[in-house]
Structure 1
Amino acid sequence: MKTIEFDKIEPTWFNIEENTKKECLKNNIEFYDYLGNFVKFKLFNYIKTKALIETIKTLDFNDEIGTRAILNKRHFSNKNRELELAISDFNKKKIEVFEWLDKTKNPYFFILNPVYQYGAGIDYKSWINERYGYIKVAHTGIQNLDIAIDYLKYKSELTE
């Protein structure tokens, strides 16, 4: 079944998308800028760099080959230095995300919104596409609750 046919039966994803477009208009944000810039780039990098900090904390730096593979670096320093670098990178990504959210009227909508995109080239599998048409791919998930909590802490620190 193609998404157009599915939307006629159960228009949940269509309704989410339309609601997101309306909210973007209220906040003077382009819908595809929100999807492409914020959701797929800024939120993704935020989640990835935050996860890297936790990975480095549990990483055994005595296993040089494994550490190199996990960090995706040819040369690496000691655990403390790599942790400092990861935290510094995370703080940059955090500032990017939170500054973007500060410009909106309803930041928690944009954090917790379960946006979807049509599968136009995203996670494309030709045998699925031929048989079912475009598939919808979710771009937000459980990590967004963590981001909402982090944003709440950030806002409360600003008001103190």
Structure 2
Amino acid sequence: MLDPIARGCEAVLRLLTRLHWLGPLVLRLFFGYFWLETGWAKLHNLDGFAARFVDWGIPFPAASAALSAGTDFVGGLFLMLGFLTRFTAAAMGFNMVVAIALVVIKNVAGFDEFVELDEVVYVLIFFWLLMAGPGKASLDTLVARRLGIATPQMRLG
């Protein structure tokens, strides 16, 4: 027989298991909105954003800035919707790796500073989305269901 604390813990774990879809949804909505808003701001000041690319020595600054800003905007929207999530996470993660390699790493003196970079956290979130997928509450899961493709989210219930 379980004691009251164990029963309470078990009940909480059952509830969390039933709500497993909520974590990826909330992450995608807020993280996606962050990127949507960032991309929107960059797209509406593309000349200024491209000028920063010139200062950083990034090749083809106007085209690179437009591609980066567009990736942020469209990628943010797709993340919010859970649409093409794994592809989007890969593209946006690559965008962040390029930002780290060409811009951010120049100001990093050691591993402690590296792991504290916002961009590293972003890459890790994109990696998680790439590996785990969008979760049950997503267009990807809806499309897969319509096409009769089984996904891990569908098997989880």
TM-score by length of 2: 0.31
Taking CA–CA contacts closer than 8 Å with sequence separation of 6 or more, which of the two structures ends up with the larger relative contact order? Answer: 1
